[in-house]
Amino acid sequence: MTEWEIKEHPDFFKDLDRLSTKDLEIFYKKKNKIKESPERQKHLSGGENCYREPITENIRLIYWIEGKAVWLLTIGKHKEAYKEYLKRLYSLRAKIK
């Protein structure tokens, strides 16, 4: 079994600040599920090894798998999260490589 390491994009914590307490509780539960099996959710087009995790009906968590690391890219309202994730993905890839 692969041991996954969770990492966060530098701007990810700004996203968390915008969430309600209830949404944060759901996020932390889902974060543990992602660490156990990050490839279980829907793969996103436009980003290689990118996946989305529904937090609520309108809140999405988007993450990227690189090696044994799961990078949490963005979390927020559906439209904003999808708009932001590609920018963060490309900036993160540039720093890593």
What digits encode the pLDDT tens for the residues 46-56? 778 999 999 99
Q: Domain-by-domain residue ranges, the chain?
A: 5-96
Phi first, then psi: what are they for 78, rounded to 5°? -40, -60
Phi first, then psi: what are they for 44, rounded to 5°? -95, 140
CA distances from 79 to 4, 17, 21 (A): 28, 18, 21
Domain 5-96 indexed as CATH 3.30.2310.20: yes
What digits encode the pLDDT tens for the residues 60-92? 999 999 999 999 999 999 889 988 999 999 999
d(CA 23, CA 28): 9
What's the pLDDT score for residue 12?
97
